[in-house]
């Protein structure tokens, strides 16, 4: 038995049974009138009841694929597949290439374009050929392949972006603009955000997992204090951190205390008159988030800022075979270190 549709919940699940499983499967099928079911290659799909241990478990379509066996179309619940697995053994799941996997879960046009480009390449075969090339040629090729793979992996693995800052700086409003929807509660009351909230978004064509956190400030209760502690944990887990500051009031002592050289500093409330900012609290961008209509501009500004910080080229196809999964990347890195290239 082989599962042709993706595992998990779906509207319909399609399973094929090898010719050797043919008679065992037919023994589990009953016509709508309760009679025995036969299969005829080339005949239209046949509707039948799937009966396991004398219980009708589903209403199915059966197609005779001749030498390729019998195909069953079931309701998509994994429960039915699980029952079939008890009778026929766990279903084989066809291997999906990293490019097809990216194609299935893409959230942006750029990820789709990269996945379609990479479908044309057989990366493991390319790496095997590389391994047998003359050293100088191999080094040049490996350098390019590593560059392409760094960009390709940035399309595959979302970068964890954590928004931190003092209470009321505008973190949750910025979070909502970046996601294009009102995901987090935002408002003038301090302490509205307690638990960290995270969601996926594509910014400038690259995937991000964006995390909104509780604001730093006066903890009026142990609950507030725990919320701030959780924000500190999230900050430490971030690949990149944006320190959100209120551009209309100027830097506070809390802003100064939260500043570190590797954070990006983004001022919100750019629609209001701006306060003076001392150069030591370097501002990387100023955005206006009051109006949802400004989401596109905010996303473009922050997306460009992040891409610049990560030294990434415009998102999309990379112009040659590239690693899209950790297995291929590891092989590539092993080849590179054997060829004496520095680790990327
Ligand atoms: N005028 C203006 N108000 C904003 C902007 N961003 C946030 N605010 C307001 O600032 C207050 C605090 O925002 P919020 O996102 O909840 O701050 P947080 O505590 O850092 O999450 C809310 O009343 C928002 O409407 C902005 O860009 N412009
Ligand atoms: Mg908030």
What is the value of pTM for the model shown? 0.81
| Distance between Cα 289 and ligand 1 center (Å) | 7
166 CA: nearest ligand 1 atom: 20
| Distance between Cα 318 and ligand 1 center (Å) | 39
Query: pLDDT value at position 137?
Result: 87
| Distance between Cα 308 and ligand 2 center (Å) | 26
Instruction: Check if 202 has its Cβ closer than 6 Å to any atom of ligand 1.
Output: no
Using CA atoms, how far residue 143 sits from 123, 129, 283, 342, in Å, is 15, 15, 35, 10
- Residue 34 tokens read as 């309760």
| Cα distance between residue 127 and residue 338, in whole Å | 13
From the number of C-beta atoms within 10 Å of its C-beta (0-12, 13-18, 19+), residue 10 rates as middle
Instruction: Check if 186 has its Cβ closer than 6 Å to any atom of ligand 1.
Output: yes
Query: pLDDT value at position 344?
Result: 63
**Are 15 and 2 within 8 A, CB to CB?**
yes
The average pLDDT across 127-132 equals: 88
pLDDT tens, residue by residue, 71-83: 999 998 889 999 9
Query: pLDDT value at position 34?
Result: 86
Instruction: Check if 148 has its Cβ closer than 6 Å to any atom of ligand 1.
Output: no
- 3-class secondary-structure state, position 155: helix
Query: pLDDT value at position 50?
Result: 96
Nearest-CA residue for ligand 1 atom 10 is: 170
pLDDT tens, residue by residue, 22-70: 999 999 999 988 888 887 888 889 999 999 999 999 999 999 999 999 9
Ligand number, closest to the Cα atom of 186: 1
pLDDT tens, residue by residue, 151-201: 999 999 999 999 999 999 999 999 999 999 888 888 888 778 788 999 999
| Cα distance between residue 273 and residue 112, in whole Å | 41
Using CA atoms, how far residue 197 sits from 161, 170, 193, 215, in Å, is 12, 15, 9, 13
From the number of C-beta atoms within 10 Å of its C-beta (0-12, 13-18, 19+), residue 323 rates as buried
| Cα distance between residue 255 and residue 284, in whole Å | 14
The average pLDDT across 201-213 equals: 97
51-63 as b/e: b if 16+ CB within 10 A: eeeeeebbebebb
| Distance between Cα 172 and ligand 2 center (Å) | 4
Using CA atoms, how far residue 90 sits from 2, 75, 196, 331, in Å, is 9, 18, 39, 31
Statement: residue 343 has pLDDT above 70: no
Instruction: Check if 193 has its Cβ closer than 6 Å to any atom of ligand 1.
Output: yes
Instruction: For the chain, list the domains and their CATH numbers.
Output: 2-88 (3.30.1360.120), 99-344 (3.40.50.300)
pLDDT tens, residue by residue, 2-13: 999 877 777 899
Statement: residue 342 has pLDDT above 90: no
Output 279 or 301, whichever has higher pLDDT: 301
The average pLDDT across 106-122 equals: 96
């Amino acid at each position: 038995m082989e599962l042709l549709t993706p595992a998990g919940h779906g509207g319909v699940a399609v399973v094929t049974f090898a010719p050797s499983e043919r008679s065992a499967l037919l023994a589990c099928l009953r016509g709508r009138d309760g009679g025995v079911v036969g299969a005829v290659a080339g005949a239209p799909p046949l509707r039948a009841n799937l009966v396991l241990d004398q219980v009708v478990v589903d209403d199915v379509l059966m197609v005779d694929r001749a030498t390729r066996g019998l195909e069953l179309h079931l309701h998509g619940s994994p429960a039915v597949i699980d029952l079939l697995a008890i009778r026929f053994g766990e279903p084989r799941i066809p291997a999906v290439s990293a490019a097809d996997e990216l194609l299935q879960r893409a959230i942006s046009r750029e990820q789709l374009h990269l996945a379609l480009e990479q479908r044309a390449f057989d990366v493991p075969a390319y790496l095997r050929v590389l391994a047998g090339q003359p050293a100088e040629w191999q080094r040049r090729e490996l350098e390019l392949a590593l560059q392409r793979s760094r960009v390709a992996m940035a399309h595959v693995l979302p970068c964890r972006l954590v928004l931190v800052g003092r209470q009321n700086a505008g973190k949750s409003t910025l979070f909502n603009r970046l996601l294009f929807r009102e995901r987090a509660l935002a408002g003038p009351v301090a302490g509205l955000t307690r638990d960290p909230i995270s969601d996926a978004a594509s910014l400038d064509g690259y995937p991000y997992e964006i995390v909104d956190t509780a604001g730093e400030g006066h903890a009026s209760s142990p609950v507030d204090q725990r919320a701030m502690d959780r924000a500190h944990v999230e900050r430490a887990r971030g690949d990149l951190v944006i320190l959100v500051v209120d551009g209309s009031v100027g830097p506070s002592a809390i802003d100064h205390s939260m500043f570190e050289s590797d954070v990006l500093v983004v001022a919100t409330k750019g629609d209001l008159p701006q306060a003076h900012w001392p150069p030591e609290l370097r501002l990387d961008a100023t955005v206006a988030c009051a109006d949802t209509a400004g989401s596109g501009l905010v996303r473009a500004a922050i997306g460009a800022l992040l891409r610049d910080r990560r030294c990434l080229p415009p998102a999309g196809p990379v112009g040659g075979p590239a690693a899209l999964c950790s297995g291929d990347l590891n092989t590539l890195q092993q080849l590179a270190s054997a060829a004496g290239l520095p680790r990327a």
